């Protein structure tokens, strides 16, 4: 285009669009707009030449063109830029020379080109002369701006487009603000609609519900339309409305941040509880409260159920006898029930925080650490059968404990819980039970051995009776200077030693007391001690006898054997000599003093025999009363002494205890029931053979005993009628009872026992005199027969002098 042509275009442009251009400068103040108007040409101009006028007009146009803050572009009919102002190049970042090589389409955002071309085509077709559009322009750096574009087509006289005029206003900031607002509204709309919390918007003045989100609709059971027709008081129970409004008022005044446990009424009439947080805002010029509702009904119900459960289980824990405890990982109590407090003697506040090292011994604390460490590592419960605890008073108790690991909600170990039981008395009972079982077992063993030994002793005594009878007859016919007399006397002493051995066997077998007499044990003990001391000079004997000692009823011969056994036992425990302390005392014993052998509580006489010997350990003490048990070398003891002692004491309804420590001596204590009878003085024995002429019925199942007995009695002058058993004796007695003066009756016979034979003989002749003779008596029946009227007892084997004295004692009584 030629310069004249360009000038013509500009002139035409200025003349035709000056007004619109001025109107499109929003930032120009009125003074600037007036100055610009004065520089523009008009059709009334009177310049000398037209060329000069055009140049002046273009100059004035250029001033306005570049001064406006709006982007102005002039393009040819094809859309190529002819000219752009400074604001335009600044908007798009291009230089003017770069812009002039481009079209409107080139700088239009691809997404807006179609819409722009459509409007441009409408102008070209004459449908419209201009258009206004919001569109995006591409900047040189690749980003874009938003602009409001006013595009106008300038036409010639033929109506053809001569050029395009475009005026652009940068609205990028406004569009970004609108977009941000739209996005914000979208986000908040989404939060409102999809919030898990119920949201209600309430007009402050009218208390009408303005907006409700789906969550609050679901929470209350209403639709949004229904809620919008309601007021605040409609969604709360009538009786709670005043309290609810007071809570809201305190919250609006800043006195509290949250209204808690607010009751709400659902559409179906059921009640729920919510926490409400609210804030005050202006919506459409109306003051409103936005309330955020959190349904806590399930939580409250769960908490209530938990409280009830905790209360129930706490009541259970407080009512059970077992102790329940919880400790932390350090072993400090964090919870205990009342039973634990009672067991340990501490108050609750004293136990909480107490460590297990404070109420156990170091050994027990170490043991418990190992147990809890195993529970911690393996996660499995553990039991402790015997857990020793030191109570507040210092007393020791034994607990049985079961413990398990405690974990929190994150499965992290936080401590231990468990049950404890006080088993102190149970353990004592078990020990006592074991002791009693041991004693019962010992008693049963003694009974079994006694039965066996008693039978052997009986038969052995019958044999000794045969020896003794023959020896007595032989000595009766020999002079003292006969060469065989000494041998026979030696044999007689051997029989006596054999009878003493069987007497010991019968003692621990407890086969009766035969010659029971009321006795002062001081006299018996003093006599026995003096006899023993004469043979054992290395033993120093010390006596401490109580005056006015209560009398007792004993078989003196058996009890002398008891004392001798104890003296010998002490002497053997003091091989280098020592001291023997003898003491008597009146005492009272309680019931069940010597379980399992129950005794009658009451007055007893106690004899204490104490030595300074080598003592015994616990294992030996448990066996010393067993028959045939001995610590002596083979051939140096029978093991019958203390067994016999035990049997004799028990058979006298007495008690014998032993206490000993290794290298600290031994104490034997004997308890015998006191008697209210007077002591009977013992008559001196004569060595003269006593004879007679009475008729005697001799009853024994042993033929040897009957034969030798008949000869012995006949030597003494008696008429003897032999009987081989109880049945035969009854028959003989019935036939010749008027001439029989005395019956010598054996206790043990196979066809009829001595006890039964005695009763039948007494039925026939009540005043009949009977002398019992036996190697032993079963279950103390000899004593029973003596109590039923029998006149005397003599134990086999007996010699000629003994039987002669006993027969005269019975016949002359």
Find out whether 24 and 70 touch, Cβ atoms under 8 Å. Answer: yes
Residue 545's pLDDT is what? 93
Give the integer Cα–Cα distance in Å for 99 and 102: 5
The residues, ordered by sequence, that sit 6+ positions from 535 with a Cβ below 8 Å of its Cβ are none
CA-CA-CA-CA dihedral for 164, 170, 172, 178, to nearest 10: -100
**Burial of 544: CB neighbours in 10 Å, binned 0-12, 13-18, 19+:** exposed
The residues, ordered by sequence, that sit 6+ positions from 34 with a Cβ below 8 Å of its Cβ are none
Residue 705's pLDDT is what? 84
For 472-482, what is the mean pLDDT?
Answer: 79
> What are the residues facing 164 on neighbouring strands?
75, 153
Give the integer Cα–Cα distance in Å for 447 and 450: 5
Find out whether 492 and 799 touch, Cβ atoms under 8 Å. Answer: yes
The answer to whether residue 637 scores a pLDDT higher than 50 is no
Taking every pair of Cα atoms in the chain, the longest distance, rounded to a whole number of angstroms, is 212
The answer to whether residue 779 scores a pLDDT higher than 50 is no
- Between 209 and 458, name the one with better pLDDT: 209
Residue 575's pLDDT is what? 84
Find out whether 372 and 416 touch, Cβ atoms under 8 Å. Answer: yes
For 498-524, what is the mean pLDDT?
Answer: 67
Residue 337's pLDDT is what? 87
Distance from first CA to last CA of the chain, Å, rounded? 187
| Cα–Cα separations (whole angstroms), residue 202 to 187, 209, 222, 259, 612 | 21, 5, 16, 16, 106
- Two structure tokens written together for 337: 């029930």
Output phi, psi for 592, to 5 deg: 60, 35
Total residues belonging to the chain: 813
Give the integer Cα–Cα distance in Å for 263 and 251: 16
Peptide bond into 602 cis (omega under 30): no
Residue 27's pLDDT is what? 39
Phi-psi region of 159 (alpha: psi -120 to 50; beta: other; left: phi over 0): left
Nearest to 262 by CA among 292, 221, 217: 292
Strands (E) located in 156-238:
161-170, 198-203, 209-212
For 639-662, what is the mean pLDDT?
Answer: 79
For residue 431, give the DSSP letter: H
Quickly list DSSP for 535-546.
H-TTEEEEEEPP
- Between 126 and 736, name the one with better pLDDT: 126
Give the integer Cα–Cα distance in Å for 61 and 42: 12
**Burial of 255: CB neighbours in 10 Å, binned 0-12, 13-18, 19+:** exposed
- Two structure tokens written together for 263: 């009751």
What is the tens place of the pLDDT at every residue in 151-163? Answer: 999 998 888 889 9
Give the integer Cα–Cα distance in Å for 179 and 185: 10
Give the integer Cα–Cα distance in Å for 209 and 283: 13
Rg (CA), the chain: 67
Q: How many CB atoms lie within 10 A of CB 497?
A: 9
Residue 220's pLDDT is what? 93
Give the integer Cα–Cα distance in Å for 557 and 670: 17
Q: What rounded mean pLDDT belongs to the chain?
A: 80
| Angle at CA of residue 436, ends 432 and 441, nearest 5° | 150
Find out whether 227 and 200 touch, Cβ atoms under 8 Å. Answer: yes
The answer to whether residue 535 scores a pLDDT higher than 90 is no
Q: How many CB atoms lie within 10 A of CB 711?
A: 15
The answer to whether residue 688 scores a pLDDT higher than 70 is yes
Among 45-54, 63-72, 601-610, which stretch is predicted with the lowest mean pLDDT? 45-54
Find out whether 665 and 783 touch, Cβ atoms under 8 Å. Answer: no
Give the integer Cα–Cα distance in Å for 357 and 413: 21
Among 42-51, 156-165, 229-238, 562-571, which stretch is predicted with the lowest mean pLDDT? 42-51
Give the full edge-to-edge strand order of the sheet including 539-544. 539-544, 578-589, 602-611, 666-673, 655-660
For 677-701, what is the mean pLDDT?
Answer: 78
Residue 503's pLDDT is what? 63
Residue 420's pLDDT is what? 87
Find out whether 606 and 593 touch, Cβ atoms under 8 Å. Answer: no
Output phi, psi for 83, to 5 deg: -160, 150
Find out whether 290 and 281 touch, Cβ atoms under 8 Å. Answer: yes
Peptide bond into 596 cis (omega under 30): yes
Nearest to 235 by CA among 257, 198, 267: 267
The answer to whether residue 384 scores a pLDDT higher than 70 is yes
The answer to whether residue 606 scores a pLDDT higher than 90 is yes
Among 14-23, 164-173, 239-248, 262-271, which stretch is predicted with the lowest mean pLDDT? 14-23
Residue 110's pLDDT is what? 93
For residue 778, give the DSSP letter: G
Among 59-68, 77-86, 360-369, 709-718, which stretch is predicted with the lowest mean pLDDT? 59-68
Q: Determine which helix (DSSP H) or strand (DSSP E) holds 131, and give its type and residue range.
A: strand 130-138
What is the tens place of the pLDDT at every residue in 250-305? Answer: 887 777 778 889 999 999 999 999 999 888 888 888 898 888 999 989 888 888 88
For 315-328, what is the mean pLDDT?
Answer: 80
Residue 626's pLDDT is what? 66
The answer to whether residue 217 scores a pLDDT higher than 90 is yes
For 498-509, what is the mean pLDDT?
Answer: 61
| Angle at CA of residue 634, ends 632 and 638, nearest 5° | 70
| Cα–Cα separations (whole angstroms), residue 798 to 467, 514, 720 | 10, 14, 17
Nearest to 405 by CA among 395, 396, 416, 418: 416
Residue 621's pLDDT is what? 64
Nearest to 672 by CA among 791, 786, 521, 561: 521
The answer to whether residue 581 scores a pLDDT higher than 90 is yes
Give the integer Cα–Cα distance in Å for 545 and 230: 111
pLDDT band at 108 (very low <50, low <70, confident <90, very high): very high
Place of tokens 């103040």: 29
Place of tokens 């709309």: 189
- Two structure tokens written together for 32: 């600037």
Give the integer Cα–Cα distance in Å for 669 and 649: 11
The answer to whether residue 66 scores a pLDDT higher than 90 is no
Find out whether 504 and 641 touch, Cβ atoms under 8 Å. Answer: yes
pLDDT band at 49 (very low <50, low <70, confident <90, very high): low
Give the integer Cα–Cα distance in Å for 117 and 136: 14
Find out whether 569 and 642 touch, Cβ atoms under 8 Å. Answer: yes
Residue 501's pLDDT is what? 64
Give the integer Cα–Cα distance in Å for 61 and 21: 10
Residue 753's pLDDT is what? 83
Nearest to 607 by CA among 638, 588, 585: 585
What is the tens place of the pLDDT at every residue in 404-455? Answer: 898 888 888 889 988 888 888 888 877 777 777 766 776 676 667 666 666 6
- Between 348 and 647, name the one with better pLDDT: 348
Among 129-133, 145-149, 324-328, 490-494, which stretch is predicted with the lowest mean pLDDT? 490-494
- Two structure tokens written together for 532: 């023993």
Residue 598's pLDDT is what? 64
For residue 797, give the DSSP letter: S
For 765-794, what is the mean pLDDT?
Answer: 77
For 582-589, what is the mean pLDDT?
Answer: 92
For residue 738, give the DSSP letter: G
């Amino acid at each position: 285009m030629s310069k004249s042509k360009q000038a013509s275009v500009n002139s035409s442009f200025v003349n035709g669009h000056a007004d619109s251009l001025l109107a499109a400068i929003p930032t120009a103040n009125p003074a600037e707009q007036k100055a610009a108007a004065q520089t523009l040409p008009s059709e009334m101009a009177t310049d000398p030449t037209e060329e000069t006028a055009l140049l002046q007009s273009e100059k004035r146009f250029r001033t306005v063109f570049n001064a406006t803050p709006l982007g102005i572009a002039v393009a040819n009919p094809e859309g190529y830029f002819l000219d752009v102002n400074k604001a335009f190049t600044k908007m798009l970042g291009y230089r003017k020379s770069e812009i002039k090589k481009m079209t409107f389409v080139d700088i239009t955002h691809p997404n807006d080109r179609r819409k722009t071309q459509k409007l441009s085509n409408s102008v070209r077709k004459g449908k419209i002369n201009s258009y206004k559009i919001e569109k995006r322009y591409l900047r040189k750096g690749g980003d874009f701006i938003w602009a409001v574009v006013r595009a106008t087509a300038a036409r010639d006289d033929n109506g053809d487009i001569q050029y395009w005029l475009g005026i652009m206003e940068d609205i990028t900031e406004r569009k970004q603000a609108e977009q941000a607002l739209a996005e914000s509204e979208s986000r908040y709309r989404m939060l409102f609609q999809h919030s898990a919390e119920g949201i209600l918007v309430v007009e402050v003045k009218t208390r009408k519900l303005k907006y409700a989100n789906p969550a609050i609709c679901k929470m209350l059971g209403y639709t949004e339309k229904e809620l919008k027709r309601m007021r605040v008081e409609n969604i709360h129970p009538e009786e709670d409305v005043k309290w609810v409004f007071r809570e809201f008022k305190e919250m609006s005044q800043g006195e509290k941040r949250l209204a808690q446990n607010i009751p709400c009424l659902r559409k179906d009439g059921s009640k729920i509880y919510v926490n409400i947080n609210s804030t005050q805002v202006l919506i459409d010029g109306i003051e409103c409260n936005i309330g955020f509702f959190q349904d806590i009904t399930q939580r409250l119900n769960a908490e209530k159920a938990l409280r009830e459960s905790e209360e129930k289980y706490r009541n259970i824990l407080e009512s059970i006898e077992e102790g329940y405890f919880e400790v932390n990982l350090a072993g400090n109590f964090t919870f205990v029930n009342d039973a634990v407090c009672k067991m340990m003697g501490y108050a609750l506040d004293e136990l909480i925080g107490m460590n297990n090292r404070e109420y156990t011994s170091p050994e027990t604390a170490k043991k418990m650490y190992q147990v809890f460490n195993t529970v911690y590592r393996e996660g499995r419960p553990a039991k402790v059968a015997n857990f020793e605890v030191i109570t507040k008073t210092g007393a020791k108790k034994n607990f049985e404990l079961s413990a398990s690991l405690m974990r929190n909600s994150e499965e992290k170990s936080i401590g231990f819980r468990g049950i404890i039981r006080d088993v102190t008395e149970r353990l004592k009972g078990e020990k006592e039970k074991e002791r009693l079982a041991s004693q019962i077992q010992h008693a049963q063993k003694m009974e079994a051995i006694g039965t066996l030994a008693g039978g052997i002793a009986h038969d052995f005594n019958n044999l000794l009776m045969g020896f003794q009878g023959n020896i007595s007859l032989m000595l009766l016919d020999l002079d003292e200077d006969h060469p065989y007399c000494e041998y026979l006397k030696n044999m007689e002493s051997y029989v006596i030693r054999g009878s003493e051995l069987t007497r010991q066997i019968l003692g621990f077998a407890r086969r009766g007391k035969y010659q029971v007499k009321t006795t002062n044990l001081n006299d018996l003990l003093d006599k026995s001690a003096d006899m023993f001391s004469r043979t054992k000079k290395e033993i120093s004997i010390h006596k401490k006898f109580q005056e006015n000692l209560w009398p007792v009823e004993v078989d003196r011969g058996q009890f002398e054997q008891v004392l001798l056994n104890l003296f010998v036992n002490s002497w053997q425990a003091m091989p280098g000599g020592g001291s023997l302390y003898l003491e008597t005392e009146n005492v009272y014993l309680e019931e069940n003093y010597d379980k399992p052998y129950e005794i009658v509580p009451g007055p007893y006489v106690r004899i204490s025999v104490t030595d300074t010997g080598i003592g015994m350990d616990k294992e030996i003490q448990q066996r010393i009363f067993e028959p045939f048990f001995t610590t002596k070398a083979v051939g140096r003891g029978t093991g019958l002494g203390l067994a016999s002692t035990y049997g004799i004491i028990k058979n006298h309804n007495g008690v014998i205890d032993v206490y000993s420590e290794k290298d600290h001596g031994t104490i034997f204590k004997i308890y015998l029931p006191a008697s209210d009878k007077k002591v009977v003085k013992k008559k001196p024995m004569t060595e003269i053979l006593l004879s007679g002429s009475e008729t005697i019925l001799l009853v024994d199942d042993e033929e040897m005993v009957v034969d030798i007995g008949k000869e012995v009695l006949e030597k003494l002058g008696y008429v003897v009628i032999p009987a081989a058993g109880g049945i035969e004796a009854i028959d003989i007695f019935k036939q010749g009872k008027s001439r029989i003066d005395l019956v010598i009756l054996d206790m043990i016979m196979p066809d009829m026992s001595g006890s039964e034979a005695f009763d039948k003989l007494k039925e026939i002749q009540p005043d009949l005199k009977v002398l019992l003779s036996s190697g032993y008596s079963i279950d103390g029946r000899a004593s029973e027969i003596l109590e039923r009227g029998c006149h005397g007892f003599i134990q086999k084997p007996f010699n000629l002098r003994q039987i002669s004295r006993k027969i005269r004692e019975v016949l002359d009584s």
